[in-house]
Structure 1
Amino acid sequence: MSAQVAKISQSAVWDTADKYLRNVVDPEDYGEYILPFLILRRLECLLADTKDEVVELAESGKFTGELLNMAVHSKFGLGYYNTSRFDLEVIGTTDDHVQESLLEYLDGFSEQVADIWDAFKFREKIATLERNSRLWQIIRHFAAMDLHPETIPDVSMGDLFEDIMFRAFTTKGKGAGAFYTPRDAIRLMVDVLFASDDDGLTGKAPARSVYDPTAGTGGMLLVAQRALEEMNPNIDVTLYGQEMMDWAYAIGKADLLIQGGRPESIKQGDTLRVDRYEGETFDYVLSNPPFGVDWSVSKAEVMRQSEVPGSRFSHGLPAVSDGQMLFLSHVASKMAPKGPNGAGGRAAIVSNGSPLFTGKAGSGPDKIRAWLLTNDLVDAIIALPEKMFYGTGISTYVWILDNNKEEHRRGKIQLINAAPFWSPMRKGMGDKTREMSETDRAAVLEIYTEFEDSEHSKIVTADDLGYRDVPVVKQKHYVTRVTPEAVEEAMAHAAAVEGHRAIIEKLDGVVWNSLPTLLKTRAKAAGAKMPTGLIDAIMNAVAHDDPEAPPAKSRTGKPVLVDGFSMTERIPLSEDVDEHMRREVLPFAPDVTWDEAASKVGYEIPFTRLFYTPEPVRPLEEIDADIARVMASLEAKFKAVRE
């Protein structure tokens, strides 16, 4: 950051809070007042060189509405403008009619940027300052700042704005996590995202598009743009974003504008309900959607879209209480289609641990996982350190998606445990107390590019992550126990006659499975008929459960199952079901059977299990020595009490 920028950021911009906002605005809301004034001053400095000519063109009456937009763009190359004779310097020359003049000035902005002030609720804040006799002083304060691009270039202005945003969010603590992604996390995502496209980025004049469906304050887009321009100053980067929250949308759009971006780079709206870029795809997609977001407000439209084959939500729907996997599906659908010479799209999206495993086999979340994995869309998943984000200290993950992987990565998924790669922050912010330094990020990037099994990297396939949930049932074990009561119960059957009594008797101890054949043989020898219903009645009457007997089978040869017993055995897709059951189940439960045809296929990504390293158990000698020391200490204390 230049000395000029540092001076402005430290001694001019934020000091506004102490000088003019104290006792008028809550400290946690200082940024909501400072940021729009900073943006307004930067915009008017960007427009200053052509301001008079634009005003004259507007006042000529030759063009209005869209024609004026086109004329200004054609003549001055501007995507937005202001037609008012006012600016902050003019308004600050007198303390008369300050509020009216400022509102008229805001009304003079073209429609391309006018919604920024609405999203900031800037007019309400202006009224608050006017009521407390602070508006004129703040206007004069910002009017004195030279934010012209010749004084502060776009990159330096971005640094200044970043500093002010960070200060503003620091006062909000955990609340910042709703719309602000730490730059160290973004930079890691960007570095990994571009690592697989470095050859295509070094040409004479490459062009790339970057999209963020949950743009927040635009940080991901701007960090991506800057990283691409560092790799190749000749690259043409076009940014696209969508954001729902008013304040975040205002900041994101303004941040892009004050750094020379297009006013249409960020659009406002609920991405799940309405895709403002429907039909468009992009080279890179970045997103940090909210964790555990309830999408019931968007449910009707999401459900409608899910019924359209091949649509973004047609692969499955998660629980209404957590929309993370909807964003995963959306992000995958926005990647540029696969094409020749490595053409395609790559994406990086942040999630908590839920999308790795939530949902049973065949459920909505599982279907989304299966679609991503079996279609070879998942390039890598990176486990980040805990306490990396402002609004949560839980474990977080970055999914790297790619629809046209490099040859050596095709058909494989790389799981990276980057949790150990962090450095402590000098001062925490909300839940964020750790950061990934440049050294930390470089180490993770090296693990990604090496693409090898190691302590921090596992290379797996979709089948390795897939499983079958095979239903397992327990068979009964019957032998024949003929008692007088059992004989009378069997004889009570309507089809039984007195001649059947001798056939039923003297069967004690016979294996139950052999009863049908034996009864028919005896009946035939006695010249009697043995109806099928009577055989069933006899079998039920004389059945006796005996774990030592062979598993029982019905008259038709089907296993007889224990009522109410049900369990499921999870078997990896890479294993043979029968072999697994013989090895892992039958030695411990020999009386069970299974039905592979009734099994359900599912997918999960068991990060913890794959990277688990058991801690060695302490030697018994050490444990005994510790116990002896504790007991000796207790004995000494008891002795002191007794004395």
Structure 2
Amino acid sequence: MAESAEALRKTTARIVWDTADKYLRNIVDEEDYGDYILPFTVLRRLECMLADSKDDVIKYVDAFAGMPQHLIDIAVKDKFGLSFYNVSRLDLATIASVDDNVDKSLKSYIDGFSNNIADIWVSFDFDRRAKILADANRLHAVVKHFSTLDLSPTSLSNTGMGDVFEDVMYRAFNKKGKAAGNFYTPRDAIKLMVDVLIANDDDTLAGDSTARSIYDPTAGSGGMLLIAQEALRRMNETIDVTLYGQELMPSAFALGKADLLIQGGRPDAIKQGNTLVDDLYAGQTFDYVLSNPPFGIDWEVEEKAVRDQAKTPGSRFSHGLPGINDGQMLFLAHCASKLSPAGKNGQGGRAAVVSNAAPLFNGDRGPTAIRDWLLDEDLIDAIIALPPSMFYGTGIPTYIWILDTNKAPERSGKIQLIDGSDQWTLLRRPMGEKRRQMSREDRNPVLEAYKAFDRADSGISRVMTPDDFRFRDIPVYKQARLAARCSDDAVEALRERKDFMDAHVAVLKSLDGTSWNELPKSFPQATKAAGLKAPVGLVDAVMKAMAAPDDSAPPAVDRKGNAVTASGWKITERVPLSEDLAEHMAREVVPYSPDAQWDETKAKSGNEIPFTRIFYTPRAPRPLEEIDSEVQVLMGELADMFKLVSDQ
């Protein structure tokens, strides 16, 4: 059934604005309107879905009185095809027909739902919110209002109801602004993630018996699961899609579970729990994984459970642990571990995971080890840079990691970086930190670049190898150039030694201006001629005291012939593992410092994905004449303003 956009808009307007304007204003804070509107929207939709068979279901359940609840649930599903039901003889219209004990009647009605969806009302905190409305003498009016809304499947298909609910959520979260980012991922970002995930799966998705599983370990309001399901069904109407999700926050869990239910989903599609502590789908892998985990949130509460799991070799957290102050790489590792292994038919698991920039280059041991594992296993298919200000809770740059356990042959051993940061349209009204959106026209260049792979425009896409991201940090130093100089400071420094005599001063003066490199020979010879001794320790002390920088001198070497490093001049050169060290130094270091020396044996290894640096394009500075011209114009305008003020 296809509903017109106008019909959906009117339904949404009635649900949101009529309720807010007439019944909630001055009772609850405007930003909390959604906490009341959404639960009643869900309740009315579920009521409409059950209405036609409700009387028969009640009689049928009554006949099984005394039987265990789970057996009754099975019997109802077998008989009526219902995955949930309600055995209360009340409904919203009946409750609204009288204005006495509305809160008690509503609670009795809610308690009549089957146990498998009872957690929705607990997570919505429905009883407490109903009491707030009752205490303000508004509950009866709200119940009566929602009882008049036709949200039946004959009026609104599952897809149509889903659109309405999404619109209601959007309007409600628009009031919350930045707080909405905790559990609501922008739909434009999700659509890009889904488009890329299924971009190369056209052939494998065809057929009447095709089945796919989709999983989100941070399910929030369920948007990722539903949008991915919708995209797959557009490609194949007969495809069997099974959704799986886990969510920690009660309010987000309630929204996600409700959103799936009102669109005909399974009651147990989303489970409530802490993914890091307890994977409620342990042992299962999935065809598609999508996740927008929290950024920069510490995992101290989960630390013991995570570290215990990490002790098991090959487990999801065994490859490395990030710093306690940011757990997003734990979710990245978890998502990678939930991917279906590669199959003989070319099928495998694919994931799209949102992150900020930290997982790209965090140099701590744990994040480095996790990246190493992903690179070693060739799991990273692509990384996409999104525009800033894309998410409700943060304006910082964000990225999508595309993981794949069975890359196409041409993509094997390679990683594609796509810069989509310039593909955006300004929102007419900001929502929290979200000021930009990616319309279909904005997303298309990114999707086409992904499909084109190594044929894509290098301005937006680069194809790299894992060794391009692995590096050696090579210590680079400059060899000193020294002349022998006799100074008062040098003499005073040497007088502190017991083997230095006053007679040595004349020897030092005789060597002033000579070659510093020759001091190991010239100083002992001169002291011997003067009838003095020159032990090895004194020779070294004299070389140190008489060392004076001199650019015209040859490169300095010590008594043993080792190069002497110039004090205050030492750098670390990062060299990709994919580059020859000598060629890199000849190109990047020697032209700017011909005296530079390096020691490969002291190199430290690591990895990073320097996304911004890879796509950086130098811009020539504006000509000074142009800048001067603008300054003169501005100065003239200021002079005119001052004159105008002084004339008055």
Aligned to 2:30: 27
Question: SS of the counterpart of 1:445?
Answer: helix
Aligned to 2:318: 314
On the 8 A contact 1:478/1:546 being kept in 2, the answer is yes
Aligned to 2:50: 47
The AA in structure 1 aligned to 2:58 is V
Shift of 1:331: 1.5
Q: In structure 2, do the counterparts of structure 1 residues 188 and 588 end up closer, same or farther at CA, with 3 Å as the change threshold?
A: closer
Q: In structure 2, do the counterparts of structure 1 residues 542 and 165 end up closer, same or farther at CA, with 3 Å as the change threshold?
A: closer
The AA in structure 2 aligned to 1:152 is L
Question: SS of the counterpart of 1:195?
Answer: coil
Q: In structure 2, do the counterparts of structure 1 residues 463 and 488 end up closer, same or farther at CA, with 3 Å as the change threshold?
A: closer
**In structure 1, which of residues 126, 137, 153 is the aligned counterpart of residue 130 of structure 2?**
126
**In structure 2, which of residues 289, 293, 308 is the aligned counterpart of residue 289 of structure 1?**
293
Paired with 2:58 and 2:472, the residues of 1 have a C-alpha distance of 70
Aligned to 2:606: 602
Q: Comparing 88-97 with 529-538, which one deviates more in the overlay?
A: 529-538
Q: In structure 2, do the counterparts of structure 1 residues 516 and 356 end up closer, same or farther at CA, with 3 Å as the change threshold?
A: same
Aligned to 2:3: 2
Paired with 1:17 and 1:100, the residues of 2 have a C-alpha distance of 23
Q: In structure 2, do the counterparts of structure 1 residues 537 and 176 end up closer, same or farther at CA, with 3 Å as the change threshold?
A: closer
Paired with 1:29 and 1:493, the residues of 2 have a C-alpha distance of 80
Q: Percent identity?
A: 55
Paired with 1:541 and 1:632, the residues of 2 have a C-alpha distance of 61
Paired with 1:280 and 1:269, the residues of 2 have a C-alpha distance of 16
Question: SS of the counterpart of 2:585?
Answer: helix
Paired with 1:108 and 1:422, the residues of 2 have a C-alpha distance of 48
Question: SS of the counterpart of 2:244?
Answer: strand
Q: Comparing 409-418 with 262-271, which one deviates more in the overlay?
A: 409-418
Question: SS of the counterpart of 1:401?
Answer: strand
The AA in structure 2 aligned to 1:214 is T
TM-score (normalised: structure 2): 0.88
Matches within 5 A, 1:151-550: 151-357=155-361, 359-360=362-363, 363-451=365-453, 452-454=455-457, 455-480=459-484, 511-514=515-518, 536=540, 539-540=543-544, 546-550=550-554
Shift of 1:189: 1.1
On the 8 A contact 2:15/2:37 being kept in 1, the answer is no
On the 8 A contact 1:384/1:397 being kept in 2, the answer is yes
The AA in structure 2 aligned to 1:611 is F
Q: Comparing 153-162 with 589-598, which one deviates more in the overlay?
A: 589-598
On the 8 A contact 1:344/1:403 being kept in 2, the answer is yes
The AA in structure 1 aligned to 2:578 is S
On the 8 A contact 1:14/1:164 being kept in 2, the answer is no
Q: In structure 2, do the counterparts of structure 1 residues 627 and 136 end up closer, same or farther at CA, with 3 Å as the change threshold?
A: closer
Paired with 2:355 and 2:201, the residues of 1 have a C-alpha distance of 24
Paired with 1:219 and 1:130, the residues of 2 have a C-alpha distance of 32
Paired with 1:148 and 1:636, the residues of 2 have a C-alpha distance of 70
Q: In structure 2, do the counterparts of structure 1 residues 312 and 556 end up closer, same or farther at CA, with 3 Å as the change threshold?
A: farther
Shift of 1:448: 1.5
Q: In structure 2, do the counterparts of structure 1 residues 124 and 532 end up closer, same or farther at CA, with 3 Å as the change threshold?
A: same
The AA in structure 1 aligned to 2:38 is L
Shift of 1:615: 4.1
Shift of 1:199: 1.0
Paired with 2:395 and 2:461, the residues of 1 have a C-alpha distance of 23
Question: SS of the counterpart of 2:407?
Answer: coil
On the 8 A contact 2:511/2:523 being kept in 1, the answer is no
The AA in structure 2 aligned to 1:137 is A
**In structure 1, which of residues 6, 17, 20 is the aligned counterpart of residue 20 of structure 2?**
17
**In structure 2, which of residues 59, 64, 70 is the aligned counterpart of residue 66 of structure 1?**
70
Shift of 1:295: 2.1
Shift of 1:326: 2.1
**1:591-634: per-residue Cα shift (whole Å, max 9, x none)?**
54322122223333333333334445545554454455556667
On the 8 A contact 1:491/1:501 being kept in 2, the answer is no
Q: Comparing 236-245 with 149-158, which one deviates more in the overlay?
A: 149-158
Shift of 1:474: 4.2
Q: Comparing 443-452 with 109-118, which one deviates more in the overlay?
A: 443-452
Q: In structure 2, do the counterparts of structure 1 residues 129 and 497 end up closer, same or farther at CA, with 3 Å as the change threshold?
A: closer
Shift of 1:410: 1.7
The AA in structure 1 aligned to 2:29 is D
Matches within 5 A, 1:103-118: 103-118=107-122
**1:448-485: per-residue Cα shift (whole Å, max 9, x none)?**
21122412222222233333221223444445567999
Shift of 1:131: 1.4
Q: In structure 2, do the counterparts of structure 1 residues 484 and 245 end up closer, same or farther at CA, with 3 Å as the change threshold?
A: closer
Paired with 1:249 and 1:5, the residues of 2 have a C-alpha distance of 25
Shift of 1:225: 0.4
Paired with 1:19 and 1:395, the residues of 2 have a C-alpha distance of 41
Question: SS of the counterpart of 1:472?
Answer: strand
Paired with 1:521 and 1:220, the residues of 2 have a C-alpha distance of 83
Q: Comparing 176-185 with 516-525, which one deviates more in the overlay?
A: 516-525
On the 8 A contact 1:385/1:418 being kept in 2, the answer is yes
Paired with 1:633 and 1:136, the residues of 2 have a C-alpha distance of 66
Shift of 1:637: 7.4
**In structure 2, which of residues 52, 55, 59 is the aligned counterpart of residue 56 of structure 1?**
59
Q: In structure 2, do the counterparts of structure 1 residues 304 and 551 end up closer, same or farther at CA, with 3 Å as the change threshold?
A: farther
**1:247-272: per-residue Cα shift (whole Å, max 9, x none)?**
11100001101111111111112222
Q: In structure 2, do the counterparts of structure 1 residues 555 and 37 end up closer, same or farther at CA, with 3 Å as the change threshold?
A: same
Shift of 1:488: 11
The AA in structure 2 aligned to 1:300 is K
The AA in structure 2 aligned to 1:364 is G
Paired with 2:622 and 2:496, the residues of 1 have a C-alpha distance of 69
The AA in structure 2 aligned to 1:39 is V
Shift of 1:220: 0.6
TM-score (normalised: structure 1): 0.88
Q: Comparing 238-247 with 420-429, which one deviates more in the overlay?
A: 420-429
Q: In structure 2, do the counterparts of structure 1 residues 343 and 634 end up closer, same or farther at CA, with 3 Å as the change threshold?
A: closer
Shift of 1:118: 0.8
Paired with 1:514 and 1:124, the residues of 2 have a C-alpha distance of 90
Q: Comparing 155-164 with 322-331, which one deviates more in the overlay?
A: 322-331
Unmatched 5+ stretches in structure 1: none
Paired with 1:8 and 1:474, the residues of 2 have a C-alpha distance of 74
Shift of 1:164: 1.3
Shift of 1:25: 1.8
The AA in structure 1 aligned to 2:166 is E
Shift of 1:311: 2.3
Q: Comparing 271-280 with 157-166, which one deviates more in the overlay?
A: 271-280
Shift of 1:514: 5.0
Paired with 1:45 and 1:264, the residues of 2 have a C-alpha distance of 20
Paired with 2:16 and 2:617, the residues of 1 have a C-alpha distance of 50
On the 8 A contact 2:450/2:456 being kept in 1, the answer is no
On the 8 A contact 1:317/1:365 being kept in 2, the answer is yes
Does residue 1:144 correspond to 2:148, yes or no? yes
On the 8 A contact 1:453/1:459 being kept in 2, the answer is no
Q: Comparing 611-620 with 28-37, which one deviates more in the overlay?
A: 611-620
Q: Comparing 623-632 with 211-220, which one deviates more in the overlay?
A: 623-632
The AA in structure 2 aligned to 1:353 is A
The AA in structure 2 aligned to 1:35 is L
The AA in structure 1 aligned to 2:57 is V
Paired with 1:158 and 1:174, the residues of 2 have a C-alpha distance of 23
